Structure 1
């Protein structure tokens, strides 16, 4: 199994399989529900190769993996023998379901992928109609459009299933509730002739078009709706659980669903559905008014905050609003503001890849850029731009500018398809075939990418360190780093302090650049970039080891500027390193500078134990 070891390491650090109460995954994250989160070692998991980050949000312990999440999920389930299909209907577990954001995410995440796939089909159909492949009167159009529309038209059925499962109830009861709400004959009542008016003269004025046992019914069009079925299923699960407690085991399989449907569906059509629909309309109209008041500012703000919502795992709460708008208006005006976000992550990753000297880090940046290009931004955010900070800030700023452009041209999204480059078709109107907003969406993406790339590149481009030509003296080693010089025997590492590696000194760095301490040849740059071995033109063999035990950082905070076999002149930069980052990760920065062939000389003499600037005389040797 490819990810077996990673799965074992993750399980070990979340407190073992016995601490896992539930496990699901989304596009990029393993989402654990743990019995005791204090048993989880967040830092240890973050340091695992293959893990981008760990977030604790909405009661979930979220391990960000990236594009391989489904394979890692399968490995974790297999290794940990986790029974993910097990149903738990206890009240106690229902109370542990987490926050509102957690609940909403849990309901939508299982169906988001299918919705995006169908949205892409709708966008593709609109594109083919636009280019004349077939007309909107053809049977080809009818069939393909029906495939694309299916999940949206029958959305209450899907949400009824996932909501019931999320609330700990019978998912098929939830499914029947959703199906009843979009049953054609019941939907037809929404357009029937009104038989009476209710709440006339108020904002809740509604027309009843039917009666149920003599009670007026305000029939609504529930296809493509979101909240009515979720609220109805929530109460249905409560009722079904209560009935199950009083029902003999032999009757449970049908009696509880029978009573629940018989009570809850009439209540849904008479009370819950109309009330929640009216409130949903008020929310939707409020959002539209807010965006209508100043769509430019609103879109810009949303462009800025979208990646921050992703960072904290809160972006799932936006999807219900998007689908509500698509169902009510046939378009969404919220999500277009964040369209450029994927592309700014691409630009930031490419800029960092161009600047990166470390091949492994460069590879991570490039693969994250490709992932972000197709709308999966978590690997880029957690693995590349957020650790860099400057790149993440550049991406957020540039995304806001993209939102500004979207707002200026009032771009609307007509389907919820894929994101990133495949999301361009979301802006083609499938009803009219119009691509009016598409060029502006592309413009926003391109402008944002250019700005983000430029800012990231400039902010991260290190000013070339001027190599000053130094007149070197024979058998003299110059300070490779600015810092406080100490005797080697004061080093915290016993091996270095004992002199077994050779004679020399220790420097406590004040600048994060290692320079060539003499003219010579690089023999070895360690793959992790934390140490370098070189031979001077006088034959002195040197080891410069930045920090203690820093090999464990696996290259983090280090950038090698040279490679094995390079010829260098005194003062030429060899390694760059982040002093603050090394200390923050709990490592000492004491840097031994050792002459490893000291036995070839009669004497090794430190010049000074004081604060030295780089390239000041550090040690002298005398030939035998």
Structure 2
């Protein structure tokens, strides 16, 4: 009998037994359950199990935080429970049965952007590094940049743009691929569709505003503008779904013996035509409208209020999963304004939640068991992964969660009020400063200090004042 046997038996009993489990899988630190009846799960009893570090429900899944031992624990649990192994995708699909319409829409959006986030983070770091060597005057008594004095750094600067351009200018290719992957259709067709949106034959999207004449395809009875959609998000999403649904429908009506020939042909050509004639122009207008509204709101006289509300509410958005919608807005802002004023607030919110956990570490500095959960949670939160911190610590005690929200709100006001802009989506924590545009780094650093100090102080003060008494008693301080 392994050390996981008894905790696994306890967990099985407290989630309602094998008959209550529809699907179970695991990620890097958590067990993910899709339960037939979530009310049968005894949350308090589950959190009292020795190996369990916290629980939460998100996206239709009941998730139990185990930590780095989750893989071994999962193997023991499935053996005892008699439930079969399954994939994360199967779990997601099963979980969607427990979601309402809005939650399903957000889940679909998350499925599109999640696979491409690593590339976006890398791109943000690359653009940030290029800014450091290309814009900061750090040599010859602060009169010249590195690329102005060194051929090596000039070469590095030019070379790195090869990657940055591939990630951001050709973003529609990644989006249409991600949609075809999500929908289970032919992924290479999604890639081809995306390439047609950014082809060198087209007038680059960044050159449309200043173009004296826009080239066209002339069909005799009609002309279609040859405009590219570099870095555009919504045209790519609309085109990707048209291609996917066309292919799914054609698979049903075309005999299988000739489907390999005719399904790709009759799916791709109409999808490309519709993308350039209808969806591209419409998507461009929708994207421009959304980005202009957000940008105008953040830069208006009431920008501080928008920042305060967003900074305060972003952490609760993460709980609901609605935060995934900000990816599309960030990318649209980048294409319209060469940067995003929204993403810095997201990084500050993550830092603030991590700082609240640091306060819990301080309050429980003699509790070694508590620190086994809180220390890794704080580190991961400062590096942009907030789930262990929020669900494993802050939401359990509640008042640290609110302290983090308040600190995030104040930091967001400073960030927006000083016009801090990021080059792109980056690492959503302290390393996120590398994605901030060079002129704004100092003010973002100040906002980060606020996001670190304020939640820490508020959490300690709330604990001493016994605000949230039940949570305070769980700290063992009363």
Shorter-chain TM-score range:
0.7 to 0.9
1:173 pairs, out of 189, 192, 197, with 189
- How far residue 53 of structure 1 moved from its aligned partner, in angstroms, is 2.5
TM-score (norm 2): 0.80
1:450 aligns with 2:458: no
Give yes or no for contact 1:347–1:452 (8 Å, CA) kept in 2. yes
Shift in alpha-carbon separation, 1:214–1:248, aligned structure 2, 3 A: same
- Aligned residue in 1 for 2:124: 119
- How far residue 301 of structure 1 moved from its aligned partner, in angstroms, is 1.5
2:439 pairs, out of 431, 436, 444, with 436
Give yes or no for contact 2:26–2:70 (8 Å, CA) kept in 1. no
- Aligned residue in 2 for 1:406: 415
1:246 aligns with 2:236: no
Shift in alpha-carbon separation, 1:124–1:68, aligned structure 2, 3 A: farther
- Aligned residue in 2 for 1:371: 380
Give yes or no for contact 2:234–2:286 (8 Å, CA) kept in 1. no
Shift in alpha-carbon separation, 1:558–1:78, aligned structure 2, 3 A: closer
More helix by share: 2
Shift in alpha-carbon separation, 1:96–1:390, aligned structure 2, 3 A: closer
Shift in alpha-carbon separation, 1:368–1:154, aligned structure 2, 3 A: same
What is the alpha-carbon distance in structure 2 between the residues aligned to residue 271 and residue 363 of structure 1? 55
What is the alpha-carbon distance in structure 2 between the residues aligned to residue 107 and residue 70 of structure 1? 27
- Aligned residue in 2 for 1:298: 306
Unaligned runs of at least 5 residues, structure 1:
196-206, 429-434, 464-510, 513-555, 560-575, 578-624
Bigger relative CO (Cα 8 Å, ≥ 6 apart): 2
Give yes or no for contact 1:326–1:414 (8 Å, CA) kept in 2. yes
Shift in alpha-carbon separation, 1:208–1:141, aligned structure 2, 3 A: closer
- Aligned residue in 2 for 1:52: 54
- Aligned residue in 1 for 2:142: none
1:216 aligns with 2:218: no
Shift in alpha-carbon separation, 1:448–1:81, aligned structure 2, 3 A: closer
Give yes or no for contact 2:353–2:389 (8 Å, CA) kept in 1. yes
What is the alpha-carbon distance in structure 2 between the residues aligned to residue 442 and residue 193 of structure 1? 39
Shift in alpha-carbon separation, 1:176–1:19, aligned structure 2, 3 A: farther
- How far residue 104 of structure 1 moved from its aligned partner, in angstroms, is 0.6
- How far residue 330 of structure 1 moved from its aligned partner, in angstroms, is 0.7
- How far residue 103 of structure 1 moved from its aligned partner, in angstroms, is 0.9
Shift in alpha-carbon separation, 1:245–1:148, aligned structure 2, 3 A: same
- How far residue 342 of structure 1 moved from its aligned partner, in angstroms, is 2.5
- Any idea what SS the aligned residue of 1:368 has? helix
Farther off after superposition, 130-139 or 306-315: 130-139
- How far residue 11 of structure 1 moved from its aligned partner, in angstroms, is 8.6
Alpha-carbon deviations, 1:104-161, whole Å to 9, x = none? 1111111112211221122123223334554598222121222233221221111111
What is the alpha-carbon distance in structure 2 between the residues aligned to residue 411 and residue 78 of structure 1? 49
Number of paired residues? 447
Query: Larger C-alpha radius of gyration, 1 or 2?
Result: 1
Alpha-carbon deviations, 1:195-254, whole Å to 9, x = none? 7xxxxxxxxxxx774335643223433121111111112122221111111222232234
Give yes or no for contact 2:106–2:321 (8 Å, CA) kept in 1. no
- How far residue 68 of structure 1 moved from its aligned partner, in angstroms, is 4.9
Shift in alpha-carbon separation, 1:271–1:305, aligned structure 2, 3 A: same
Give yes or no for contact 1:124–1:425 (8 Å, CA) kept in 2. yes
2:85 pairs, out of 56, 81, 88, with 81
- Aligned residue in 2 for 1:156: 172
- How far residue 77 of structure 1 moved from its aligned partner, in angstroms, is 12
- Aligned residue in 2 for 1:383: 392
TM-score (norm 1): 0.62
Shift in alpha-carbon separation, 1:55–1:83, aligned structure 2, 3 A: closer
Alpha-carbon deviations, 1:477-504, whole Å to 9, x = none? xxxxxxxxxxxxxxxxxxxxxxxxxxxx
1:351 aligns with 2:359: yes
- How far residue 352 of structure 1 moved from its aligned partner, in angstroms, is 1.8
- Any idea what SS the aligned residue of 2:61 has? strand
Unaligned runs of at least 5 residues, structure 2:
139-144
- Aligned residue in 1 for 2:239: 232
Give yes or no for contact 1:303–1:403 (8 Å, CA) kept in 2. yes
- Any idea what SS the aligned residue of 1:223 has? coil
1:265 pairs, out of 252, 267, 272, with 272
Give yes or no for contact 2:120–2:424 (8 Å, CA) kept in 1. no
Give yes or no for contact 1:351–1:453 (8 Å, CA) kept in 2. yes
Shift in alpha-carbon separation, 1:167–1:455, aligned structure 2, 3 A: same
- Aligned residue in 1 for 2:316: 308
Give yes or no for contact 2:308–2:412 (8 Å, CA) kept in 1. yes
Farther off after superposition, 362-371 or 436-445: 362-371
- Aligned residue in 2 for 1:185: 201
Farther off after superposition, 2-11 or 170-179: 2-11
